[in-house]
């Protein structure tokens, strides 16, 4: 069992999606996260363990490597693709309630900003840690965030911005959310954003890398 | 007309322009508004920006077309107006530049990731081709492919511009410093990787733009020069990392602070110096003073 979990984690960490995928080159011709996860489920391994001891472990490893600048965006994207492909085999267990999500994370790029690469990275990493992610897309205003928060009570919220001109909108959106649903925990991120900025606009958490957001969410639900 | 790279080969150090995006915002561009549509709806304001940089002494001026690819304009429902908008962008800068100064037709990244299958190689190539041809039609002397982070996308843009225009083709990428003090783009490309592949793809000039301030650019130029001693190099630095002050973002490097690195950049091997986000005509004027001394 443990050996198969280790293999699944390895495939996710190194972005090995399935048998057909040529990436990474040194794993060519081997089974990927897709086949191995299916095998684990078919053999009756507990889905919860497949998630926690396999997929989540792999995503956390790539998240830490990304934080340490040992890998860059392309490697994280391949890992996320491997993870999401494997996750399909777990979908029935999420739907039946046999496997529980850790919590719900609502994320969007703030009003006026159409950039989505950073937002997508965080979204994939959080999903890969076992949360349900509600992705509102780009150019999202305060009202849209508030509606989603009301639909998903107790959710955590992530705001993303790439531009120095749109990070300003974060302040307004944080204030609107806190006024409408005061206990909401709001995470912010993006190239121009900083810890100091987080303090100024009264958001709850800032991280310069996606894994920081994952760690914060895991601490919060623990 | 002379080529920019010929002037560089004759030993000249040239000055380019400063920021467009932050300048457009100062003129009232709202977040969520399409900056490139101003080439049609607010052409006088765009012309004024170009003129201010020419008046500051810049040898060349970019165009307001950074997000002018079909992929970006689609976000505003303007995907059918790519040629019109880019041609207008180049025509405005041409008007400001007159016959003696150069026009660099700006092409930014598409925001689509090839390796994730968000876009095909053919679609990217065709998109860059359309934008480059429109910029040439409007009067651009060179195509300035900038702020790239992915080598494959940059190479497709260079090839599309080389194969379908007679313009000189320039390409800059954007690098950050890693925890171990190496320079890498978001996609993991180092300046050395860039030199190898971008020059092979046919770029007439390479360089770096945006980033974390002028000081880091000196290190980037040194790394480029170690890999290639001949290729002309352009640097467009931000005026530092943006800070948040009283509800507004401000860029910390004053013209004087930024200009103090000009000598170091030239010494390291840069041939053209201009600015990116947060730089103003005052920054460019100060750089001109130092370079022309």
Count of structural domains within chain A: 2
pLDDT band at B293, cuts 50/70/90? confident
Residue B137 scores a pLDDT above 80: yes
Examine the domain organization and report whether A217 and A112 are in the same domain. yes
Phi, psi at B171, each rounded to 5°: -145, 125
ipTM above 0.85, yes or no: yes
pLDDT band at A122, cuts 50/70/90? very high
Distance, in Å, from the CA atom of B260 to the CA atom of B254, rounded to the nearest integer, reads 10
Q: Which residue of chain B is at minimal alpha-carbon distance from A79?
A: B116
Examine the domain organization and report whether A145 and A113 are in the same domain. yes
Say what the pLDDT of residue A81 is.
Answer: 94
Side-chain-side CA neighbours of B142 within 13 Å: the count stands at 27
| Domain's final residue, options A38, A68, A96 | A96
Give the mean model confidence (pLDDT) for residues B14-38: 93
Structural domain including B243 reads 4-292
Examine the domain organization and report whether A41 and A149 are in the same domain. no
pLDDT band at B242, cuts 50/70/90? confident
Examine the domain organization and report whether A91 and A110 are in the same domain. no
Judged by a CB distance cut-off of 8 A, whether residue A90 touches chain B is: no
The region of weakest confidence among A174-178, B23-27, B34-38, B170-174 is B23-27
Examine the domain organization and report whether A47 and A64 are in the same domain. yes
Give the mean model confidence (pLDDT) for residues A138-152: 97
Examine the domain organization and report whether A59 and A141 are in the same domain. no
Which residue in B110, B39, B136 sits closest to B81, CA to CA?
B39
Q: What is the pLDDT of residues B99-128, one digit of tens each?
A: 999 999 999 999 998 988 889 999 999 999
Examine the domain organization and report whether A55 and A114 are in the same domain. no
| Domain's final residue, options A96, A127, A148 | A96
| Domain's final residue, options A63, A96, A129 | A96
| Cα–Cα distance list, A103 to A134, A216, A218 (Å) | 11, 12, 9
Q: What is the pLDDT of residues A30-50, one digit of tens each?
A: 999 999 999 999 999 999 999
Say what the pLDDT of residue A191 is.
Answer: 87
Which residue in A200, A170, A88, A92 sits closest to B31, CA to CA?
A170
Q: Which residue of chain B is at minimal alpha-carbon distance from A111?
A: B32
Distance, in Å, from the CA atom of B221 to the CA atom of B160, rounded to the nearest integer, reads 26
The residues that bridge with B275 in the sheet, in sequence order, are B237
Examine the domain organization and report whether A87 and A111 are in the same domain. no
The better pLDDT of the pair B293, B171 is held by B171
Best B67, B116, B118, B179 residue to mutate vs chain A (most A CBs within 10 Å): B116
Query: Helix (H, G, I), strand (E, B), or coil: what is residue B281?
Result: helix
Say what the pLDDT of residue B59 is.
Answer: 98
Phi, psi at B99, each rounded to 5°: -80, -15
Judged by a CB distance cut-off of 8 A, whether residue A109 touches chain B is: no
Examine the domain organization and report whether A40 and A121 are in the same domain. no
Say what the pLDDT of residue A66 is.
Answer: 96
pLDDT band at B259, cuts 50/70/90? confident
Output the CA angle B247-A118-A7, nearest 5 degrees: 150
Share of chain A above pLDDT 70, in %: 100
Judged by a CB distance cut-off of 8 A, whether residue A117 touches chain B is: yes
Residue B240 scores a pLDDT above 90: no
Give the mean model confidence (pLDDT) for residues A141-166: 95
Instruction: Check CB contact under 8 Å for B31 and A116.
Output: no
Say what the pLDDT of residue B250 is.
Answer: 85
Q: Which residue of chain B is at minimal alpha-carbon distance from A76?
A: B187
- Type and span of the H or E element at A8: helix A2-14
Which residue in B258, B242, B268 sits closest to B290, CA to CA?
B258
Rounded to a whole number of angstroms, the distance between the first and last alpha carbons of chain A is 26
Judged by a CB distance cut-off of 8 A, whether residue A165 touches chain B is: yes
CATH number for the domain including A83?
Answer: 1.10.1240.10
pLDDT band at B76, cuts 50/70/90? very high
Examine the domain organization and report whether A90 and A137 are in the same domain. no
pLDDT band at B244, cuts 50/70/90? confident
Examine the domain organization and report whether A86 and A120 are in the same domain. no
Say what the pLDDT of residue B161 is.
Answer: 98
Say what the pLDDT of residue A154 is.
Answer: 96
Instruction: Check CB contact under 8 Å for A192 and B242.
Output: yes
- Type and span of the H or E element at B273: strand B272-275
Distance, in Å, from the CA atom of B180 to the CA atom of B64, rounded to the nearest integer, reads 36
Count of structural domains within chain B: 1
CATH number for the domain including B197?
Answer: 3.20.20.330
CB pairs below 8 Å between A and B: how many?
A: 69
User: Could you say which DSSP state residue A53 is in?
Assistant: I
The 10 Å CB-count burial string (b at 16+, else e) for A24-44 is: eeebeebbbbbbbbbbbbeee
Q: What is the pLDDT of residues B168-182, one digit of tens each?
A: 999 999 999 999 999
Mean pLDDT of chain B: 95
Give the mean model confidence (pLDDT) for residues B232-249: 86
Q: Which residues from chain B sit within 8 angstroms of residue A195, using beta carbons?
A: none
Nearest to A73 among B187, B244, B248 (CB): B187
pLDDT band at B248, cuts 50/70/90? confident
Q: How many CB atoms lie within 10 A of CB B167?
A: 22
Q: What is the pLDDT of residues A59-101, one digit of tens each?
A: 999 999 999 999 999 999 999 999 999 999 999 999 999 999 9
Mean pLDDT of chain A: 95
Examine the domain organization and report whether A42 and A83 are in the same domain. yes
The better pLDDT of the pair A203, B21 is held by A203
Give the mean model confidence (pLDDT) for residues A18-23: 93
Say what the pLDDT of residue B126 is.
Answer: 98
pLDDT band at B32, cuts 50/70/90? confident
Residue B289 in tokens: 């003073």
Structural domain including A157 reads 104-221
Q: Is B177 exposed, middle or buried (0-12, 13-18, 19+ CB in 10 A)?
A: middle
Query: Helix (H, G, I), strand (E, B), or coil: what is residue B233?
Result: strand
What does pTM read for this prediction? 0.93
Give the mean model confidence (pLDDT) for residues B200-205: 97
Give the mean model confidence (pLDDT) for residues B131-146: 98
Contact, B226 vs B193, CB < 8 A?
Answer: no
Residue A15 scores a pLDDT above 80: yes
Say what the pLDDT of residue B211 is.
Answer: 85
Distance, in Å, from the CA atom of B173 to the CA atom of B185, rounded to the nearest integer, reads 7
Contact, B187 vs B180, CB < 8 A?
Answer: no
A132-135 and B14-15 as β-strands: parallel, antiparallel, unpaired?
unpaired
Best A15, A65, A67, A69 residue to mutate vs chain B (most B CBs within 10 Å): A69
Say what the pLDDT of residue B185 is.
Answer: 96
């Amino acid at each position: 069992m443990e050996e198969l979990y280790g293999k699944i984690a390895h495939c996710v960490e190194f972005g090995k999606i399935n048998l057909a995928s040529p990436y990474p080159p040194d794993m060519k011709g081997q089974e990927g996260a897709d086949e191995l996860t299916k095998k684990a489920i078919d053999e009756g391994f507990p889905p919860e363990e497949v998630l926690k001891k396999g997929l989540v472990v792999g995503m956390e490893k790539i998240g830490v490597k990304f934080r340490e600048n040992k890998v860059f965006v392309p490697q994280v994207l391949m890992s996320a693709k491997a993870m999401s492909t494997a996750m399909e085999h777990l979908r029935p267990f999420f739907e039946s309630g046999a496997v529980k999500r850790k919590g719900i994370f609502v994320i969007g790029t703030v009003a006026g900003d159409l950039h989505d690469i950073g937002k997508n990275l965080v979204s994939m990493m959080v999903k890969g840690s076992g949360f349900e992610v509600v992705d509102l897309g780009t150019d999202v205003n305060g009202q849209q965030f508030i509606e989603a928060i009301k639909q998903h009570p107790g959710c955590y919220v992530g705001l993303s911005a790439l531009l120095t001109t749109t990070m300003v909108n974060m302040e307004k959106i944080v204030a609107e959310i806190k006024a409408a649903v005061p206990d909401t925990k709001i995470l912010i991120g993006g190239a121009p954003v900083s810890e100091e900025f987080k303090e100024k606009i009264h958001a709850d958490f800032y991280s310069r890398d996606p894994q920081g957001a994952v760690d914060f969410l895991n601490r919060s639900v623990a | 007309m002379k080529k920019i790279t010929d002037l560089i080969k004759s030993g000249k150090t040239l000055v380019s322009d400063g920021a467009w995006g932050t300048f457009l915002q100062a003129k009232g561009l709202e977040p969520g508004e399409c900056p490139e549509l101003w080439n049609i709806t607010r052409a006088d304001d765009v012309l004024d920006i170009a003129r201010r940089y020419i008046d500051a002494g810049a040898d060349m001026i970019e165009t307001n077309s950074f997000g002018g690819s079909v992929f970006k304009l689609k976000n505003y429902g303007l995907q059918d107006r790519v040629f019109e908008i880019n041609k207008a962008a180049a025509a405005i800068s041409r008007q400001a530049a007159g016959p003696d100064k150069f026009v660099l037709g700006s092409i930014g990244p598409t925001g689509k990731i090839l390796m994730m299958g968000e876009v095909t190689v053919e679609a990217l190539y065709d998109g860059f081709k359309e934008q480059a041809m429109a910029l040439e039609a409007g009067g651009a002397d060179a195509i300035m492919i900038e702020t790239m982070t992915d080598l494959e996308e940059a190479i497709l843009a260079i090839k599309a511009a080389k194969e379908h225009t007679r313009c000189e083709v320039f390409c800059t990428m954007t690098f950050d410093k890693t925890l171990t003090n190496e320079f890498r783009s978001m996609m993991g490309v180092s300046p050395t990787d860039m030199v190898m592949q971008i020059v092979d793809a046919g770029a007439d000039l390479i360089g770096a733009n945006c980033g974390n301030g002028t000081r880091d650019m000196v290190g980037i130029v040194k790394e480029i020069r170690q890999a290639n001693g001949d290729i002309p190099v352009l640097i467009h630095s931000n005026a530092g990392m943006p800070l948040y002050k009283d509800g507004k973002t401000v860029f910390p490097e004053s013209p004087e602070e930024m200009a103090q690195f000009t000598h170091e950049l030239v010494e390291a091997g840069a041939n053209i110096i201009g600015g990116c986000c947060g730089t103003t005509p005052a920054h460019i004027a100060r750089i001109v003073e130092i370079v022309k001394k």
